[in-house]
A and B are shown apart, each in its own frame.
Chain A
């Protein structure tokens, strides 16, 4: 679908069967995080930002929240946008 939009598509290093969760699946969206050094959505957003992509495409409202928060924590929200697939298609529809 993203190829149909003519996007230069890149995957993150941890993807598919080794994909890392945005954190909402572990309920990190709803509660305080477990003890550790870093929030999981920040970790995932750093990985996303390291690809150099200007758009982060998601297909889940909770991934959307977590990735947007992660991008904001890195103060990159002016350069990188997080969008749902439906929005990307709706922007380009005739």
Chain B
């Protein structure tokens, strides 16, 4: 598994086309780490020119802001924006909708404007472009009974409601 850091690539004079923002769960939670590995496996398989920040990545500040600590949020956000702008990052993919929301919708007003996409959108793009070739041996194809192949989709509600409700609820009045 190959996941170069942005620092390594920059030292070699290379600049990746996309940054994979791993996030706290993807870095530290044992279950979510397996998702990170699965996503990196896909990135390697399709030959995406990507990098991670590694130890230079910090919390986006989303939990702090949602809990009402605007000062801590801005401190964490500014640190990240300085790192991202320093590497001249243009495009970011993340496997976490919370990081996605903060990077996409809340960093621009602090000077961090990037093209941010969620990994679900990114994977759909890869399928549409024909870059992902699926085998016949997937977890659904090998089980043919209609009941056992059922899957349900639990979409993160954050996509739909966070911007509308929580944002207004928890933002300091001065920033509403």
Interface residues of A (CB under 8 A from B): 1-2, 4-12, 15-17, 19-22, 25, 27, 44, 48, 51-65, 67-68, 83-94
Please, which residues of chain B bring their CB within 8 A of the CB of A62?
Answer: 25, 96, 98
> What are 18 contact pairs spanning A and B, CB under 8 A?
A2-B153, A4-B134, A7-B149, A8-B146, A10-B151, A17-B160, A19-B157, A20-B157, A57-B152, A58-B154, A58-B156, A59-B156, A61-B35, A62-B96, A86-B39, A86-B95, A89-B134, A93-B135
Q: B: which residues have CB within 8 A of A?
A: 23, 25-26, 29, 31-32, 34-35, 38-39, 41-42, 45, 66-67, 95-98, 118-120, 123-124, 127, 132-135, 137-141, 143, 146-158, 160-162, 166
Once bound together, how far apart are the Cα atoms of A17 and B156, in whole Å?
A: 11
Q: Is the CB of B133 within 8 A of A68?
A: no
Q: Known contacts A17-B160, A61-B23; is A84 also within 8 Å of B154 by CB?
A: no
Q: Is the CB of A90 within 8 A of B32?
A: no
Of the listed residues B42, B127, B148, B156, the one surrounded by the most CB atoms of chain A closer than 10 A to its CB is B156
Q: Are A61 and B95 in contact (CB under 8 A)?
A: yes
Which residue on B lies nearest to A21, using beta carbons? B157
Contacts of B96 in A (CB 8 A): 60-62
A88 to B58, CA, bound (A): 28
Question: Top 6 closest A-B pairs, CB basis?
Answer: A92-B138, A61-B25, A90-B38, A61-B32, A53-B150, A86-B39
CB distance from B145 to the nearest CB of A (A): 9
Instruction: Output the least CB separation between B108 and chain A (Å).
Output: 22
Q: Which residues of A contact B143 (CB under 8 A)?
A: 54
Assuming the A-B contacts A12-B152, A48-B154, A93-B41, are A86 and B127 also in contact, with contact meaning beta carbons closer than 8 angstroms in the complex?
Answer: no
